[in-house]
Structures are given as structure tokens and as C-alpha cells.
Structure 1
Amino acid sequence: MSQNAGELRHRIKVQKLTSGKDEDGYPTPEQWVDFMPLWAKVTHLSGKDLIAAQASNSKIVARVKIRYREDIDTTMRVIYKGKTYAIDSQALEDTNTGYESVTFLLSNI
């Protein structure tokens, strides 16, 4: 079964935190850098889901679904429409083959 390309119509940016050394060997401050832009399906929680999440002390506010990949994790963050979200879950694989798409849960930063 193939992925519906029209479903992934939102443009997101995934960023990762990096640190390094300058030309003299001194450590540079950590900073967020763009890891990659991706097409995704961003779904914000409905009012009912948001209330239920808050009742269980969850800070999840949205889900993001992307094509299957293994190089995105919870140390990264997502930028969507100028808002920054933390990735709060490991990749949740699709229910068909597990290799079509992955979904991450997002929270506000």
C-alpha cells in the first residue's frame, strides 16, 4: 500500500542541537541548526483530546506524520508555521508495514 502524497502537504523544518569547536579548538555554544525540511501532515489535537491530555498531565499539542525515516529522534525539534515544537515521542510506525510513515507527538516549547 502506498502513501497518499497529498496527505503530506505541510512544510516543516526539523532542527538539531549542535556544538563544536572553533578554529582555535575552543568549544562553541550549542545552537539549533536546520537538519532538513520535510513534507508532513501536522494535526493539532482537538479540544476534547487537548482537555484529556491536560487531565493526564500530558503536554502534547499536535502530531506530525512524515514518510518513514530513522534519523529523527527526541533530541530534535520541529518548526511549523513559525512555531517551535519539541518532539516528545519516539517514532510511532504506521500500522500497515511499519515502513511507510512515522508519527511523532509534539509539545509546545
Structure 2
Amino acid sequence: MRAGNLRHRVRIERLDDMRDETGAVIQDPETGATSQQWVEVATVWASIEPLSAREFIQSAKTQAEIVARIVIRYRDGLDASMRLVHLRAGGRGVIYSPAEFLPDRDSGLEYLTAPCSRGVSEGQ
């Protein structure tokens, strides 16, 4: 992967429990449910490639709503529970939900490819 192809800024986020100033987990007083928020894991350079109509139709057979392929340099510890936010200049970020992070075919340690969906849930 050439560095020039990685021209988009993407923030990797994970869902985490909200905590108060003492470090205690915040819970809803009525339901007892834990409050959660998206927290930044890293901001990286990426290649964002929209799928062609043909690729989109083929992906519909096995994966729902895969609309883009995002490629980043290899990082350990990423999983499909995270979300990717494409940071655009002067505007709101576009939220993508990765189906998975696939290692490259050669070494498995150079880059990761994430087939992503976006839309209704927007990773939330």
C-alpha cells in the first residue's frame, strides 16, 4: 500500500462506559442501565473507496449495506464493535460501521481492510 493512497483522516472509536469524576461507572437511576459513549482510540490516515454497483450487489448476498472499503495501516486490537468516523474539513464526520478488519494477503501486518456499512444505525 502506497502512502499516497492513504489521504483521508479517520478516527477510530470504541463504545465505553461513562464515568464520573471519581471513576465510578454512571448508571441510569431508574433502569440501572450503564451509560455509554464513543471514545477515540486513534486518528489515522486511510483510503476510503466507495463500492461499485456490481460490488455492492455482490456484497448484498452475504453482507447487508456494505457501501465502502476502508484501508488503514495495520493496528493491533481493532474489532467490528468499533466505528470509523471519516473526518471531513468544515463538516460533520461520516460514520462507518466495519463488518470486520481483514489483514493484507502478504504479511498480514502491513494494512487492514474494513468492509463498512453506514446509514440507519451509523455505528451507534
Q: TM-score, normalised by structure 2?
A: 0.75
CA distance in 1, matches of 2:72, 2:36: 27
Q: Which residue of 2 aligns with 1:104?
A: 114
- Across the aligned residues of Structure 1 and Structure 2, the Cα RMSD in angstroms comes to 1.9
**1:9 is aligned to 2:7:** yes
* CA shift in 2, pair 1:54/1:13, >3 Å: same
Residue 54 of structure 2 corresponds to: 48
Deviations 1:36-56 (A, max 9, x none): 110011111111111222344
Is 1:83 aligned to residue 82 of structure 2? no
Deviation string, structure 1 residues 3-27 (Cα, Å, up to 9, x no partner): 4111111111111111143246352
Distance 1:44 1:76, change over 3 A: same
Give the partner amino acid of 1:27. Answer: I
- Summarize the Cα distance change of 1:26–1:16 in structure 2 as closer, same or farther, 3 Å threshold: closer
Relative distance call for 1:22 and 1:92 in structure 2 (3 A) is: same
Work out the percentage of aligned pairs sharing the same amino acid: 34
* Residues 5/19 of structure 1: CA separation in 2 closer, same or farther (3 Å cut): same
Q: Give the Cα separation in 1 of the matches to 2:109 and 2:48.
A: 19
Q: What runs of 5+ residues in structure 1 fail to find an aligned partner?
A: none
Moved more, 19-28 or 91-100: 19-28
The TM-score normalised by the length of structure 1 is: 0.84
Residue 64 of structure 1: CA displacement? Answer: 0.9
Unaligned ranges ≥5, structure 2: 28-34
2: CA distance, partners of 1:92 / 1:57 = 15
Aligned residues: 106
SS at 2:75 equivalent: coil
Q: Residue 76 of structure 2 aligns with which residue?
A: 70
